[in-house]
Amino acid sequence: MAIAGTTVTPEVRAGMGVFIGICTVLFAACATATFMLHDAMSAMGAMPMPGGWTLSMAWTRMCGQTWAGAAASFLGMWVVMMAVMMLPSLAPVLWRVTARPELFYAVAGIAYFCVWAMLGLAVFAPGAALAALAMHWPALARAMPMLAGVVVLCAGALQFTEWKARQLACCRYAPAMPAYTGAAWRYGLRLGLHCSYCCAGLTASLLAVGVMDLRVMAAVTAAITAERLAPAGARVAKGIGVVTVNAGVLLIARAAGLG
């Protein structure tokens, strides 16, 4: 994880050990929290819907809960889930800065996940509204599996676009920045924005198929990490696109009763 062309001094090696240790602990804590939230959601059950699918309680209010409380619960779930999914590809980028790394990592990391938190808030309102409509309109509920398949299909197609290639390049080759607080905050915000753009299709697939489905979450995490860190990231992204398009076609076929 050392920067190319940089002499790995004992101080740098020690800093790398601390950095890896912090990332590992943070990843393990967020992964544990994600599993606990998944188990809690499973214990509450999911609502069977017309069309043969189930509605996750992540999009609904619990008994006696306000919408503000529901949004806060979703946001907490979203942030720990995004930490698990993004840390494997974020950590090598943050390590590029060696001057005063402890301050830079903290500030840049907080800024990065602030972007994802804002995205979570933006996602919750339309998601909760769509869930409420599906509960009251059986025709919409029956159409949801087909809509999910279309979202996944479009997400796969997005992997082949020049726009995706540009966003992926911004994430893979983000320049090192001076490690002072203002630059670190701006760096984290910019990296978070590029990351959210780059992951737009895969994130949409996760939301469409099941925001707390651990299997889908693991697949999306592996896809994001591979296209960011693999030597041939652009080809990996297109390979992921092939798999995602096929998954979308399969979901549409199942929704149409053909699978």
pLDDT, tens digit, for every residue of 29-52? Answer: 999 998 888 877 776 666 778 877
Segment 127-147 shows an average pLDDT of: 91
Domain count, the chain: 1
Region of residue 6 (phi > 0: left; psi between -120 and 50: alpha; otherwise: beta): beta
pLDDT tens digits along 65-91: 888 888 998 999 999 999 999 999 888
Of 97, 105, 101, 121, the C-alpha closest to 3 is 97
Whether 54 maps to a domain, the answer reads yes
Whether 3 maps to a domain, the answer reads no
Whether 207 maps to a domain, the answer reads yes
Whether 1 maps to a domain, the answer reads no
pLDDT tens digits along 53-66: 788 888 888 777 88
Of 75, 112, 99, the C-alpha closest to 186 is 112
- pLDDT band, residue 212 (cuts 50/70/90): confident
**Angle at the Cα of 78 (from 66 to 110), degrees rounded to 5?**
115
> Cα–Cα distance between 202 and 241 in angstroms, integer?
10
Of 161, 162, 165, 86, the C-alpha closest to 120 is 86
- pLDDT band, residue 200 (cuts 50/70/90): very high
Could you tell me the residue range of the domain that residue 178 belongs to? 10-255
Average pLDDT, the chain: 84
What's the predicted TM-score (pTM) here?
Answer: 0.83
Whether 81 maps to a domain, the answer reads yes
Whether 157 maps to a domain, the answer reads yes
Whether 2 maps to a domain, the answer reads no
Q: Which two tokens stand for residue 175?
A: 């320049």
Straight-line distance from the first to the last Cα atom of the chain, in angstroms, rounded to the nearest whole number: 45
Whether 104 maps to a domain, the answer reads yes
**Residue 152, CB-side half-sphere exposure with 13 Å CA sphere:** 28
